[in-house]
Amino acid sequence: MAIYHFSNQIISRKKQQNTIAAAAYRSGERLKDERTNETKFYKRQVKPVTHILAPSHAPNWVYDRQKLWNEVEKKEKQWNAQLAREINVALPKELSHEDQEQLAIDFCNEIFVADGMIADLAIHRDDEENPHFHVMLTIRPFNEDGSWGNKQIKVKEMVNGKQRIKALHTTDWNTKEKLLYWREQWAIYANRSLEKNGFSERITHLSNKDRGLETLPTIHEGFVARQIKNEGKHSDRIQINHDRKEYNKVVVELQEAKREKQIKQRNEKFIRRFTPLEKKQLRESAKILRLFVNGENIRNRKIQLDKWNSRLEFSPDSVDKYKKLNRIERETEILNHAESILENEANRFLDKYYPALNKDELTKEQKIEVVETTVFQSKKLSSQEIGIVVKDLEKKQIEHDLHGVLNNRSRFVLALQKEIQNTEKQFEQIRVVNGIDFANESTIKKAPDNVLNKMQWLLNQKNEMEKSLELMNRLYDHQLEEMYPNWDGRNYLTVEQKEFFIMAEEYYGKTITPEDFSNPPRKYSKGEQRKIIFSLYRMNSDDENSRQHREGLLNEYPDFQIDNKSFMRMFYYECMMFADEVGLERMNQLHAAFDVRSFSNDKESSHETSNTFTPQTNNYQNYIPSDGSDFFSILESAIREADRKWREDEFQQQHKNKKKKRQRGMER
């Protein structure tokens, strides 16, 4: 079964340790130590699976293992310098090799790399009963420009009237609190992966004492200790575990009667009442969907299918497209059926254990969540706890919707503008049909109440949507004020034009300046663009391996925001600017993978002017505007238009001021 093991150590020069040797041992690679001119190599029976993971601001050379640790050795001058941190973690052996690898990568990326560390990951499977990974982490941080940062800064402080120099750490990576946080997070990540893959086993970072257990914990034996035992020799570590297991058997037997009684009471209290047919159908659904069927997994899978369906909606008609659409439809039907089974069981469960609860006030998702929380916590929830469960579920939905809005702001703005126009049109049609003239009060009095109520409702809807649009506009204004504090013309941009400037700033990580129009920046090189385009194409055309292509893309380019429509649009524009370099084949793949027509068919959007492209075929040359304009020419045009409006406004204001001044002179 899955075990919890998470050990931490510092590799330091004080202990006469060396990061080149450590990295060579863990990775199984032959590495040269540039300080001693020695080559380090440790032959392994099973080749480790290795990855180097780094934050976006780290220099490119960190992905070269030999270069990385030689640079660390060069940078650290002290005789007792801390060189690296090494963490050893046991992987759940229930998981497949692929799932173990993905779990280790996700954990290291989101816990260590996101905090600014370089993670040199090596997964060892010399012993199939003891899959584990080592990760060597940099202790010295990197600055935003890719240079080495400081581990400590020295500050002056007064102690008892005397000035002293105190060293402060620039990160919290060496604190006990951080280590406890890492240990806890590993248990969360591992348990989440076990549940996702349908396993009931769970691990915990808590000690037996903290968990209130009287049994003694076993210690990590390791490959060497088991090898000694297999050779017929005595191992202290194996003997310690043997003695503790014998002791624990006695403790378990003494507690067994009490535990069985508690389990029986718990099971008698909260029984999931699925019929035999429902159990069979849920098992079949889980097998087809390849996931553990519960409320959260169903919601997440539906979101994935919606995204997939959106990508396919605008792709060219083909046999392959309809196969994928049929699969989406089939999976959606299975998910809906499984969800209806969970809802029916939830109704029976709530009737038995929560007879006073008004089920009609809850959605099916909320009912399922209340049941699953009750079973998980093994206790009946109070009214307040049910309220918390419901609010948490609503919060997750709001966060998901907000994430979708912020990642697709231009579509959100466009939808609001279109809906406002439709509302105004409906309002005007009702007014004309019923002969209402707001300048003539008698026509208003003659109108039926239901008509006036409808018009009032439309007016309220329009006001609410205009408030939302104004909030988005204010958000853009704040961002543009930070980007261009000295440019008055920014206040004369349309909402769509503001979106373009912010898209560019977020994509390139810098504010666009006039110099960029003559020499446009480039986020991705020719080779990187070609790789990314191919991955996006494969994600869209090969649904069986789409997840692998997506994960491969994000592993190689962790800053690439696949779900951010603004970011994706900017990537499309950048590829268009360098279409000749990218090449015909890749550009055709780009148009096949992207929702190109949704860019060009949004005719309601005022920024899709003649400067934008209108695709006709898959040949990328037909996407390039005949007048040679591109994304930066659109920005340049927006600047000229805004500055013209600003000058006109300034001229009119000056004219008014002069007129007022003359009038005051005449009055005197």
Q: How many angstroms separate the Cα of 297 from the Cα of each of 195, 387, 395, 490, 537?
A: 10, 22, 17, 45, 27
Helix (H) or strand (E) run with residue 157 in it:
strand 152-159
Give dist(CA 563, CA 640) in Å, integer.
32
- Chain segment 455-485, per-residue pLDDT in tens: 998 998 888 888 877 777 777 787 788 888 8
pTM here is 0.38
Place 359 in a pLDDT band, splitting at 50, 70 and 90: confident
Task: Say whether both 22 and 122 belong to one domain.
Answer: yes
Quote the mean pLDDT of the chain. Answer: 81
Task: Say whether both 287 and 248 belong to one domain.
Answer: no
Hey, is 40 helix, strand or coil? Answer: strand
Q: Is 490 a domain residue?
A: no
Q: How far is CA 529 from the centre of its chain?
A: 22
Q: Is 201 a domain residue?
A: no
- Phi and psi of 612, rounded to 5°? -95, 175
Residues 6+ apart with CB under 8 A from 247: 215, 216
Task: Say whether both 562 and 470 belong to one domain.
Answer: no
Q: Is 26 a domain residue?
A: yes
Task: Say whether both 384 and 419 belong to one domain.
Answer: no
- Chain segment 517-551, per-residue pLDDT in tens: 778 888 999 999 999 998 888 887 655 567 777 87
Task: Say whether both 263 and 283 belong to one domain.
Answer: no
SS (H, E, C) 236-303: HHHHHHHHHHHHHHHHHHHHHHHHHHHHHHHHHHCCCCCCHHHHHHHHHHHHHHCCCCCHHHHHHHHH
CB 200 within 8 A of CB 232: no
* Max intra-chain CA distance, the chain: 115
CB 584 within 8 A of CB 533: no
CB 380 within 8 A of CB 432: no
CB 582 within 8 A of CB 529: yes
Q: Is the pLDDT of residue 233 over 50?
A: yes
CATH assignment of the domain containing 115: 3.30.930.30
Which residue segment(s) compose the domain that 258 sits in? 233-269
| Partners of 7 in the β-ladder | 88
- Phi and psi of 415, rounded to 5°? -65, -40
Count of Cβ atoms closer than 10 Å to residue 515 Cβ: 9
Q: Is the pLDDT of residue 596 over 50?
A: yes
Q: Is the pLDDT of residue 207 over 80?
A: no
Contacts made by residues 146-152, CB under 8 angstroms, sequence distance 24+: 146/57, 146/58, 146/59, 147/59, 148/75, 151/82
- Pairwise pLDDT comparison (224 vs 189), residue with the higher score: 189
What is the total count of domains within the chain? Answer: 5
pLDDT for residue 40? 92
Task: Say whether both 101 and 184 belong to one domain.
Answer: yes
Q: Extract the tokens encoding 121.
A: 């990951």
Crossing angle of helices 546-556 and 526-541, rounded to 10°: 160
Q: Is the pLDDT of residue 603 over 70?
A: no
Give dist(CA 259, CA 166) in Å, integer.
54
Q: How far is CA 179 from the centre of its chain?
A: 23
- Pairwise pLDDT comparison (209 vs 648), residue with the higher score: 648
Q: How far is CA 662 from the centre of its chain?
A: 62
Task: Say whether both 529 and 577 belong to one domain.
Answer: yes
Considering 196, 217, 251, which residue would you say is the last residue of a domain? 196
Q: Is 453 a domain residue?
A: yes
Nearest partner of 576 among 537, 623, 636, 611, judged by Cα = 623
- Chain segment 70-112, per-residue pLDDT in tens: 999 999 999 999 999 999 999 999 999 999 999 999 999 999 9
pLDDT for residue 618? 33
Q: Is the pLDDT of residue 258 over 50?
A: yes
Q: How many angstroms separate the Cα of 375 from the Cα of each of 182, 372, 435?
A: 28, 5, 62
Task: Say whether both 416 and 372 belong to one domain.
Answer: no
Least confident of 38-47, 227-236, 336-345: 227-236
